[in-house]
Structures are given as C-alpha cells and as structure tokens.
Amino acid sequence: MAMQVCFSGNPMLVSRHVLSGLPVELLPLQETLVAVRAGNHHGIRPLAVLPGFRQKHRSRGHLPVHVFRQGQVAHVQRMIHFSRLISLVHTSIIHVKGFSFQPRIVATSDGLCYTERILISEVRMDKKYDCIIIGGGAAGLLTAARLDLTAFSPKGAGLILEATDSPGTKLRMSGAGHCNFTHDGSVKDMVAAYGEQGRAIRRVLYRYNNDAFVDFLDRHGIPSFSRDGGRVFPKSEKAQDILNFLLDFSAENGFALKKGFRVSQVTRLPDAGWQVACDNGSAFRTAAMVIATGGKSFPATGSNGRMWDVLSRDLDVEVISPRPVLAPVAVRSYPYGPVAGLSFETAELSVTAPGKKIQRSVGDLLLTHRDFSGPAALNICGAAEPGDALHINYVYPRSREEVTGILSEIFSGKKGNPVSAMASRLSLPRRFCQSILLRSLGKSIDADDVFRGSSNVNGLSPKKVSALLCDDTFTVESLPDWNKAMATRGGIALSQLDLRTMEFREHPGLFAVGEALNVDGITGGYNLQFAFSSASVCAESLQKKLRADSPVQGLRPSTEE
C-alpha cells in the first residue's frame, strides 16, 4: 500500500521513500520542488528530500514541517517560507492505515511549491455515520428534526457539524428575535415571493407548504399566530423556543452535534460513501451528506460562503456568484438623516435603468440615518445595482396628479399651517412634511424655517412638492454590505439537484437544502419556509434511501396543488 502526495496538474513521479514500512510517492506540480520532514518528540529525521533541496533552500528562510502526536491525532506544523505567496492549492485526502492526509500546497512567485500544512487525522474505520449534516443553522436543524435515524439503530448514527460555537444564531435573530418563520395564505401565492426561482421550487413548496410547517411546530408544543399582513410567529414570540425544540428533537432523532468543526474538504470514498475533513484535523465518514451551510449574510454567524468554495474545488459543483439581498438601500446624497426613525405604512419603491425591466416593491418604509430600510426597501435591494435610479412614492397609491390638486388647495389657503394640513390630508408624519417643503425650496431639511401661515407658503410649488412626494428620485450608490444583508442571492445552482429529492444529480448520497441553494425570498418568513420545505423533502428522500421500510418522523406531505 502506497501513500501518494499528489499535487494538481499532471503529476510526475520524482522519488520513492518509506514511511513505517510503506512506500511513499511524492508527486510534484510540474517542475517545482517540495520538501517534507517527519519526526517525533525525540528528534527529526528527513522523510523525503527531493533533488536540489539542500543546495537551493538551506539559506532561504525555510522552516521544515514537523510531525508530533497528541493522543490519537497527529498534527503537522506549518511549513513557512518567507517568499511572496501567489496561490494556495488544495489536494485530495490520502488514506494510509486509518489516517487521512490533506496536503495543502503554497506556490510562491519564485516558481517553487511548498507544503503549507498537512492535516492528519485518525479515522475510526469501525464508525461510519448514516448521515452527516454540514451546518447547524435552521436548514440543517430542520433536516435533523425531520429525519429519524433511530429507526435504523437504537441510538442513531447522525452527526451535525457546526462551524461556530453557537448553532442557530441566525434563527435566533430572525424577526428581531421573534422568529417570523412562515407566511399564511395559499401556497399558490407564495411562489411569487421567490422571484425567478419560484417556478423551479414550486413542487418543493407545494409538497411541504406553510400549513405543514405550522402543523409540525404545533404538534410539538409550539403554537403560532399571524400578524402584520400574514407574517406567522410562535405565540411566545421567542425564536429561542423554536431553536431549543430543533436542537432537542435532532438529538432524539439520533443526531450528535459537534460545535467548532468547520469543514475544509469533502471526498467521495470508493465504497460510495463520503469523507469529511475539518480544519481542526478531524475526519468523518458517512453514507449520506447534507449541505446546509447557508449563504454569506451576517458572516459573523458562521455563514461565510466558504463551503461553496469547497464544493466547487472538490466536486466541481456549479455555484452562482452570490450577492447580498434583503438589506437597506444606500443612495447618493441621502437627505433624511436629521429625521431618521420616521416610517411609512405603504410606500412604493421602484428601480429603473436603461434597458432594464422596472422592479417594484410596496410595503413599509423606514428612514434611517444613512439609508432606506423597512420591508419595501429590503425587498427591492436585490434588483438595485450601483448607478440605477430609485424612485419612491411616499403616498402610494395616490397619483401625482391627485396629490398636486390637494397641495394646490393647501397652499392657496389664507389660514392654517401647511405642514399640519399636509400631514392630515396625506397621512404623513409632520416632520417629514416639513422636510419635503424645505427640500422643494432647495434648503436643508434641518434648516430653522417654520411654516405657520399663508405668508410662509410663498414660493412653494404644488408640482415640485408633489414630485418629491410621488417620485422622489435617487441614484443607488453601492451594493449592500454582507453584514447588513439578511439573505443571499446565489449559491448552488438548482440545475445541479433533483428537486424531487434535493440530491445532487452527479453525486449520489449528497444533498443540499436551504439558503446554500440559489433560492431567496422576500421578507415575511419565506426563507425559513423554504428551509423547512427543502429540509422535509431531503429528509423524506434520505429516509427511503437509508431504510426503505422506516417511517419518516413527523412527515406529512401536503396535497394542495
């Protein structure tokens, strides 16, 4: 049995050495050189030194790799070369006598190639999981809560690998901590909430719809109610209650949770299973694997998009370039900082650009210190590109002509405060009316001007004020920051999966759910709904795949079409 260290490209055998009586083949990348040293607590001895190493590298600031053991895990310290790094190449995992090797190669600008780090983990060959879920967020926990592995063995054999020390962080944040987990109404109306991808995921949503989600939680002691135009929340209005339930029920279903395990490599095993390697040197084998790592929004919560890079590198999975969505819209020369905190119950926002289809969003609008927020702005964010025009109608559905007529009556009056009259007639905040009048006169909205009577309306134009109220136009400044975005557009291309099972077409036994996929919905609980729907379809498929005659825990497909 030989251990191979194989670099990308067309490998060329250079040298053969012996490790613990096993032949070792070192295969370099093109003409580059590699040095590897092995040792223990008692000293260091050369393991493999390729021709030319001693002559070229002795005085170049190069530190060799050392091997030492701690318990059952062997670690290899980082080999450092003080040169200009230009790339980092990940190679495949190598298996030797129950150990799993993951070389990483650093290429430098001088044309040389060095071993940057090797992760060596002892793999317990007698332990193979039925299912490993990568990601302990909403989608991953919902999958585990829907898949009963104890039907296969008394204790179950499932594992959830969570990169952070706190699973379900974004779930706790949802709905400002109240957890708006779905939207009521007909599932037929929900499809449009997912934009261009709605048609593709239609059957997933129909199969396990919003009623099924409400019923699932209700049957396990979490009743719900709806408000704010159909948003559904747990009656306790505590996201933590849902998280606690999912954690407990996942454990009951046979899933262990490991925190602080960030996956760095996935490998298809010869026996059709999978091996997962983590940054901390751990490695696990499984019959089936579910990708539930989310998108890139709020990267501090652990969803930084790194798993997409791993899948693309190791399995050639197609990933649609991600962009932040459900975020405030930043515009040039934003004027409303002095009146931050004002809001509008029904405003219309639209985005236009030459040759671009007009995108519209209607809903609550919030003025912040720096940008436009609230559901109407968050939902239009995904359509806005830097340089696009953002149009706002603060008095929707009133038309410009109707508002001009109302303002003409107000400004022609001989008595009364025009600000108060506007606020009353148009149902607007007084401070906002004051700001609009000042802007129409070309003044800053924090000016000291006070409009009290007819003598103060001189110079006010009903048409100018109406234009600001019904078609306030700004230029979009930039894409939102990932730290402000609530969701991600982009991710694993849906064409890669069979959406009847959520399984990859080219990789049997590999599944993906939730925001890791190229699916995003508007605000209102739609993204958590898709997490539930996709997780349920995945769990049902896995249950059949792992044991055809075992019932799926709590799965009740909806029949509405």
Model pLDDT, residue 295: 94
Q: Are residues 265 and 190 in the same domain?
A: yes
Instruction: Give the pLDDT confidence of 248-259 residue by residue, as tens digits.
Output: 999 999 999 999
Structure tokens at 147: 């898949």
Q: Are residues 392 and 487 in the same domain?
A: no
The predicted model gives 39-45 an average pLDDT of 29
| Angle at 454 (CA atoms; ends 453, 455), nearest 5 degrees | 90
pLDDT score of 298 more than 70: yes
* Reported confidence tier of residue 293, pLDDT bands at 50, 70, 90: very high
d(CA 521, CA 186): 16
* Reported confidence tier of residue 27, pLDDT bands at 50, 70, 90: very low
Q: Are residues 112 and 189 in the same domain?
A: no
Model pLDDT, residue 460: 87
* Reported confidence tier of residue 117, pLDDT bands at 50, 70, 90: very low
Residues whose CB falls within 8 Å of the CB of residue 276, separated by 6 or more in sequence, listed in order: 132, 134, 161, 263, 265, 266, 267, 283, 284, 285, 286, 289
Q: Are residues 104 and 234 in the same domain?
A: no
Q: Are residues 248 and 360 in the same domain?
A: no
Does residue 6 lie within any of the structural domains? Answer: no
State how many domains the chain has: 3
CA distances from 305 to 288, 296, 308 (A): 21, 5, 6
Q: Are residues 195 and 234 in the same domain?
A: yes
Instruction: Give the pLDDT confidence of 336-389 residue by residue, as tens digits.
Output: 999 999 999 999 999 999 988 889 999 999 999 999 999 999 999 999 999 999
pLDDT score of 556 more than 60: no
Q: Are residues 209 and 288 in the same domain?
A: yes
d(CA 502, CA 497): 6
d(CA 501, CA 504): 9
CB 469 within 8 A of CB 431: no
pLDDT score of 312 more than 60: yes
Instruction: Give the pLDDT confidence of 237-250 residue by residue, as tens digits.
Output: 999 999 999 999 99
Instruction: Give the pLDDT confidence of 130-140 residue by residue, as tens digits.
Output: 999 999 999 99
Does residue 391 lie within any of the structural domains? Answer: yes
Per the prediction, the chain carries an average pLDDT of 78
The predicted model gives 107-119 an average pLDDT of 39
Which value, to the nearest 10 degrees, does the dihedral of the CA atoms of residues 445, 447, 453, 459 take?
Answer: -70
Q: Name the domain boundary from 452, 476, 500.
A: 476
Residues whose CB falls within 8 Å of the CB of residue 310, separated by 6 or more in sequence, listed in order: 263, 264, 265, 266
CATH number at residue 137: 3.50.50.60
Model pLDDT, residue 449: 57
Higher pLDDT among residues 456 and 150, named by residue: 150
Q: Name the domain boundary from 476, 497, 524.
A: 476
Residues whose CB falls within 8 Å of the CB of residue 368, separated by 6 or more in sequence, listed in order: 328, 340, 341
Buried/exposed 111-121: b ≥16 CB within 10 Å, e otherwise: ebbbbbbbbbb
* Reported confidence tier of residue 270, pLDDT bands at 50, 70, 90: confident
Q: Are residues 537 and 457 in the same domain?
A: no
Does residue 289 lie within any of the structural domains? Answer: yes
Question: How large a percentage of the chain has pLDDT more than 70?
Answer: 72
Q: Are residues 132 and 230 in the same domain?
A: yes
Higher pLDDT among residues 20 and 289, named by residue: 289
Q: Are residues 392 and 434 in the same domain?
A: yes
CA distances from 558 to 142, 183, 201 (A): 17, 16, 15
Burial class (CB in 10 A: 0-12, 13-18, 19+), 89: middle
Does residue 47 lie within any of the structural domains? Answer: no
Model pLDDT, residue 59: 32
Does residue 113 lie within any of the structural domains? Answer: yes
d(CA 54, CA 48): 12
* Reported confidence tier of residue 303, pLDDT bands at 50, 70, 90: confident
Does residue 13 lie within any of the structural domains? Answer: no
Give the domain extent around 499.
128-324+483-548
Q: Are residues 426 and 395 in the same domain?
A: yes
Does residue 79 lie within any of the structural domains? Answer: no
Q: Name the domain boundary from 453, 476, 499.
A: 476
Backbone φ/ψ region at 237: left (φ over 0), alpha (ψ -120 to 50), beta: left
Instruction: Give the pLDDT confidence of 75-99 residue by residue, as tens digits.
Output: 333 333 323 333 333 333 333 333 3
Model pLDDT, residue 221: 96
pLDDT score of 503 more than 80: yes
pLDDT score of 517 more than 50: yes
Q: Are residues 141 and 284 in the same domain?
A: yes
Tell me the β-bridge partners of 89.
105
Cut 0.95: pTM above it: no
d(CA 260, CA 215): 33
Does residue 53 lie within any of the structural domains? Answer: no
